[in-house]
Amino acid sequence: MDGFVCVRLVQANAMDLTLFQFDYDLTFAAFFLNADRTIYGRYGSRSDRKDATRDMSMEGFRAALESALDLHKDYPSNKALLAGKQGRPRQFKLPEEFPSLAGKYKPTLDYEGKVVQSCMHCHQVHDAERRLFRDDRKPIPDEVLYPWPMPNTVGLKLDAREKATVAEVVSGSAADLSGFKAGDVIQTVERQPILSTADVQWALHNAGQPASLKTQVLRGGKKLNLTLNLGTGWRRQSDIGWRVTTWDLRRMAAGGLVLDELTPEERSNAKLSDKELALRVKHVGQYGEHAAAKRAGFKEDDILITVAGDSARMTENELLARLVQTRMPGEKIAVTVFRAAGRVELELPMQ
């Protein structure tokens, strides 16, 4: 750490979104920056609600720090290679410029008064991005709905203790079909030097649908060039259920319901096949717009078996995504639920 000047940001208020572009649902994120604002790399990844550090380690962080120093030693001769890692143009430079946040927060915290209430959280940036589309009555695009895909979205499980090292490749996945092997050390993606899992996520976050990402890996001491081919809709393999921003999606599309799939045993008891919709209401929101489903008659332990005439099996993620991409605020969706007394027909309001 002696090779770095360390700066800590503790709030999103007045955060420069043209520079600090990362997964805003994280609890920890680090940037390795040159004094001229050139980004060498990023660190910090998450894929689980309860275990926030599952995808990070001190060993992995150390490897990323060392790699950043190596890049710094060669700067500016390597500046062209770092171009792809720099921030993209943004509609708003500051979080408080988003319409849904404007007027609610000041650039600085109120340390003399209500400091907690004056602090803008990073996740509110993701919320505000989605609200732009929802308030304009437009479908939320995949790029906004599934931000910062983890490598496992394309079939790559990376070792959190290493520098972007492949621990496992899922059989039949995009990564498998593209030739990746366990033990590969990812050197570059789209010519960008890779320091961490977060760097891989940056490349995926900015990839199109479909996409072909030129990748170089180190395998057995030799450098190999691979092309990671991603089909249309590849982002939809992402798990967004752990994200705090999914709470607002549940308000929009589920009226505040939290849903969970039935286990195989529960499906059998309910006489539902493994191909049918079977989402149990785990929680019913109680306040404000999150109580819309409660006011519509939904109850805890209801089992959703048909939504808008569709009874095909879906996860909560898939249902929320489908509804915010196809249904607009003000619509009411017909829903059939199983309850102790039998089938009940309800209407779920979109918001």
pTM of the model: 0.94
Give residue limits of the domains in the chain.
246-349
User: For residue range 117-141, what is the model confidence (pLDDT) as tens digits?
Assistant: 999 999 999 999 999 999 999 999 9
The answer to whether residue 160 scores a pLDDT higher than 90 is yes
* Burial group, residue 148, by CB count within 10 angstroms (0-12, 13-18, 19+): buried
What pLDDT is attached to residue 158? 98
What is the band of 340 on the pLDDT scale with cuts at 50, 70, 90? confident
More confident residue, 171 or 1: 171
| Residue 24, pLDDT score | 97
Digit-coded pLDDT (tens) for 34-79: 999 999 999 999 999 999 999 999 999 999 999 999 999 999 999 9
Q: What is the pLDDT of residue 67?
A: 97
Distance (Å, whole) CA 255 – CA 206:
31
- Tell me: pLDDT of 1 over 80: no
Whether the per-residue pLDDT at 170 is higher than 90: the answer is: yes
Banded model confidence at residue 235, pLDDT cuts 50, 70, 90? very high
Helix/strand/coil for 8: coil
Neighbouring CB atoms inside 10 A of 230's CB total 22
| CATH code 2.30.42.10 for 246-349 | yes
267-325 pLDDT, tens digit per residue, is: 998 899 999 999 999 999 999 999 999 999 999 999 999 999 999 999 999 999 999 99
Mark 32-69 as b/e (b = at least 16 C-beta within 10 Å). Answer: bbeeeebbbbbbbbbbeeeeeeebbeeebbebbbebbe
Both ends of the chain: CA-CA distance in Å?
Answer: 47
How do residues 256-278 score in pLDDT, each as one tens digit?
999 999 999 999 988 999 999 99
Task: Find the angle CA(242)-CA(247)-CA(249) to the nearest 5 degrees.
Answer: 105
Instruction: Give the separation between CA 28 and CA 24, rounded to whole angstroms.
Output: 9
